[in-house]
Chain A
Amino acid sequence: NAGVTQTPKFQVLKTGQSMTLQCAQDMNHEYMSWYRQDPGMGLRLIHYSVGAGITDQGEVPNGYNVSRSTTEDFPLRLLSAAPSQTSVYFCASSYPAARGEQFFGPGTRLTVL
Chain B
Amino acid sequence: ELKVEQNPLFLSMQEGKNYTIYCNYSTTSDRLYWYRQDPGKSLESLFVLLSNGAVKQEGRLMASLDTKARLSTLHITAAVHDLSATYFCAVDWVWTSGSRLTFGEGTQLTVNP
Contact = CB atoms under 8 A, between A and B. Distances in A.
Contact of A45 (B41, B48, B102): B102
Interface stretch (A14-22, A68-76, A78-86, A96-104): A96-104
Main SS class of interface, B: strand
Contact of A90 (B4, B42, B45): B42
A54 B98 CA distance: 11
Contacts of B88: 42-43
Contacts of B31: 99
Interface extent on B, as a size class? Answer: 20 to 34
Interface residues of A, number: 26
Given A99-B31, A101-B48, A103-B45, A56 B97 contact: yes
Interface of B: 4, 9, 31, 33, 35, 41-43, 45, 48, 88, 90, 92, 94-95, 97-106
10 contacts: A42-B103, A43-B43, A43-B88, A43-B103, A44-B103, A48-B98, A99-B99, A101-B33, A102-B45, A105-B42
